[in-house]
Amino acid sequence: MNIQILIDKGLKLKSYPKGSVIYEPGEQPRYVYFIKSGEVRMVTVSDEGKEFIQGIFKTGQYFGEPALLIDRPYLAFTIANKDSQLIAVSKEDFFELVKNDPDFSMELIRTLSKRLFYKSMMLEELASEKADHRLLTIINYLLGDINVGENLKVTRQELADMTGLRVETVIRGTKLLAENGLIKTVKGKIVKL
Amino acid sequence: MNIQILIDKGLKLKSYPKGSVIYEPGEQPRYVYFIKSGEVRMVTVSDEGKEFIQGIFKTGQYFGEPALLIDRPYLAFTIANKDSQLIAVSKEDFFELVKNDPDFSMELIRTLSKRLFYKSMMLEELASEKADHRLLTIINYLLGDINVGENLKVTRQELADMTGLRVETVIRGTKLLAENGLIKTVKGKIVKL
DNA sequence: CCTCAAACATGACCTAGATCATAAATTGGT
DNA sequence: ACCAATTTATGATCTAGGTCATGTTTGAGG
């Protein structure tokens, strides 16, 4: 899916400064958002205020379709992690896109499958495995996206918010994993090797 | 999607007796399975042998696509909950179906979105909420599928395997929820009201 | 209307991870 | 290079829910 095509079609490009909220739980979905630049995080917040990161979306990706496709209010907040430019594609336009562009619809199916796969994996982890196992699993998952020698640009707090653990537990956990040689860490940063 | 069409196309109908395994984690996906009759459960098993129910699929539904679509080995076991008849649709046939039948591909997109929605909800629960909240959430979710006055045909063990809790905790939890009037239970069975 | 396996129930621990409190190390902006 | 704000670190409790052990109830099949 080429974002330029959407812009050419005359769709509005909206700017969201870092920290601004794109949508909130309970809102009725009306758009699918394509990211021209920047990064957003999708988080649910529990009754007691604890955040859980459902996903992080970057330039070139889109988000917000599942709720729109099944016509249910959003479950999560979506918040700009950095200054971001988004293209809001209306429900009608999006449905048309899916109907008339088999390549896009195939791509969408793959994207949804991939997210489903990730969520299944995380569910199994949260439901059954203990802290360290959980930690090692997301760390390895995240390491998959980067090159050898690079380090994970992710804080302990973010790891906590992705695993349902608390910062202190993540800190103690990563330390332990490093001691056991299961991960390598330089100045606190986790590096791929 | 009409199952009869698949049968007419000459696809083989396979029988799986209750308890038999359709596929296992690690296997390379080659088919999508359409359920002609019966019921299957998809479960992941932790290192310590704890089961987690990823999903339950019934007559008319299909399963196994995500792994196949993104070409990754299965994460879960799929096991017949009852004697079942399944139609195994090969990767090639399935891709063709998606490509050439826009209605089916739209339907698939909706199905994937719905599952994603459920998993997002459960992830938030497992990551952040405590036992009773978790319990109430799946119970209400399951109650959505049945009529007033009917009762949930689900054991405490199954509820445990869906929430990542232990039977004892589920038993104590449902009792508490019933005492507080949040659910109604008759002879142990949870009934919709 | 018995029987026996499966499902529910309940009490007594025990531990992983949450909480709380406090401080050291990094990082980024000027 | 300096300072404030994040982020990481560590120790001392506390507790929800797991674990173990031992009943009691339910309901399906003969």
What distance in Å separates the CA atoms of residue A1 and residue A110, rounded to the nearest whole number? 13
Residue % of chain A over a pLDDT of 90: 77
Other CB atoms closer than 10 Å to residue B114's CB: what's the count? Answer: 14
Cα–Cα distances in angstroms (integers) from residue A104 to residues A1, A4, A98, A99, B21, in the given order: 6, 14, 6, 9, 35
User: Which chain B residues are Cβ-neighbours of A132 within 8 angstroms?
Assistant: none
How far apart, in whole angstroms, are the C-alpha atoms of residue B68 and residue B14? 19
Question: pLDDT tens digits for B4-44?
Answer: 666 666 678 899 988 899 999 999 999 999 999 999 999 99
Neighbouring residues of A5: CB distance < 8 A, sequence distance ≥ 6: none
**pLDDT recorded at residue A3:** 61
The structure tokens 């997210």 sit at A115
Name the closest residue on chain A to residue B115, using Cα atoms.
Answer: A116
- Judged by C1' against the alpha carbon of A166, the nearest nucleotide is C18
Q: Which residues of B touch A121 (CB under 8 A)?
A: 75
Split at pLDDT 50, 70, 90, the class of B176 is very high
Which nucleotide has the shortest C1'-to-CA distance from A187? C26
Residues in B closer than 8 angstroms to A102, CB to CB, are: 99, 102, 105
Q: What is the C-alpha to C-alpha distance for residues A86 and B165, in angstroms, rounded to an integer?
A: 40
Under an 8 A CB cutoff, do B117 and A47 touch? no
Rounded-to-integer distance, Cα A169 and Cα A166, Å:
5
Beta-carbon count within 10 A of A33 CB: 22
Element (H or E) spanning B91, and its range?
A: helix B91-100
Inform me whether the pLDDT recorded for A4 exceeds 70: no
- Tell me if A105 and B110 make a contact (CB, 8 A cut-off): no
* pLDDT tens, position by position, A56-98: 999 999 999 999 999 999 999 999 988 899 999 999 999 988 8
